[in-house]
Amino acid sequence: MARVLAISSYVAHGHVGLCAIVPALQAMGHEVLAVPSVILSNHYGYRNVAGVDVAAVKLTAILEGLKANGWLENVDAVITGYLPSPEHVDAITATLARLGESLPDVLYLCDPVLGDDPDGLYVPAELAAAVRDTLVPLADVVTPNRFELAWLTGSEVSSAADANRAAKQLGDDLSVVTTSIPAGDGLIENVLAGWREDDVIVVHERSGVPRGTGDLFAALYLGFILDEYEESDALAKATRVVDEIVEASLGREELQLAGILFDAISGGDV
């Protein structure tokens, strides 16, 4: 069992952000310290949304509380998702620096939640730039979607080969897993440009998929890496679980995790 510090959005209803990350990692047997960057009634795909940002100083205070109680002393990994401001990026940067002093082997997965096709960026440009310029260089693993990889690198990304080339621009010692690359004939690809290997997994593209699949995929991939699977196996297993959850969730408002997630993780071969 690993201990993971997870920082992302929290919703009272649904399965995006922490509400996808936490159940996925817990179903894999990992412990999660969940810190919200924003607290909402639900995601912005609904007509009515209410909630508050967790100010960067408050987020830092929560992290300091965890540290004061000794709960950050044996963290194995950090995963970050949606962040509301550049100040939150600064707070996480400071936390990663402090963790690195005592835990040089802590693994950091940055899920750059910046935008998606077809609408582009859905966060302010200055926040997206802060994630690109500050958090991505600190990461060991980055999990962008097709749009996010293209935006982060300023490159055209329309195929697995494009994704592989663009991923290499982010750093030589960085593992990049890009999701939702178009593959034609109703297919999409998840593309790994890893520390030691490259790989591609092809799945069917579906319509009517609820939000949260990116958060779920990032958490699953991290969990399998923490379980010491090889990168290509972690890619295959995370992709398979997400595909099974998507199939069970088609036409629904939210991902169907309850009663399905554990069985999906524990069942099937790579």
List, in order, residues 6 or more apart from 262 with CB less than 8 Å away: 27
- pLDDT confidence of residue 259: 84
Report the relative pairing of strands 107-110 and 77-80 from DSSP bridges.
Answer: parallel
- Lookup: tokens for 154: 């300023």
Rounded Cα distance, 114 and 99, in Å? 25
Task: Render pLDDT for 255-267 as a digit per residue (tens, 0 to 9).
Answer: 999 989 999 998 8
- Lookup: tokens for 156: 């055209």
Instruction: Collapse the DSSP code of 75 into the 3-class scheme (helix H, G, I; strand E, B; otherwise coil) and give the result.
Output: coil
Q: Percent of the chain scored above 70 by pLDDT?
A: 99
Task: Render pLDDT for 163-175 as a digit per residue (tens, 0 to 9).
Answer: 999 999 998 889 9
Q: Percent of the chain scored above 90 by pLDDT?
A: 92
Rounded Cα distance, 162 and 157, in Å? 5
Task: Render pLDDT for 185-197 as a digit per residue (tens, 0 to 9).
Answer: 999 999 999 998 9
Rounded Cα distance, 4 and 78, in Å? 6
Rounded Cα distance, 118 and 159, in Å? 16
Q: How confident is the model at residue 268 (pLDDT cuts 50, 70, 90)?
A: low
Name which of 226, 238, 228, 169 is nearest 199 in CA terms: 238
The answer to which of 44-58, 110-124, 131-145, 256-270 has the lowest mean pLDDT is: 256-270
Rounded Cα distance, 88 and 243, in Å? 32
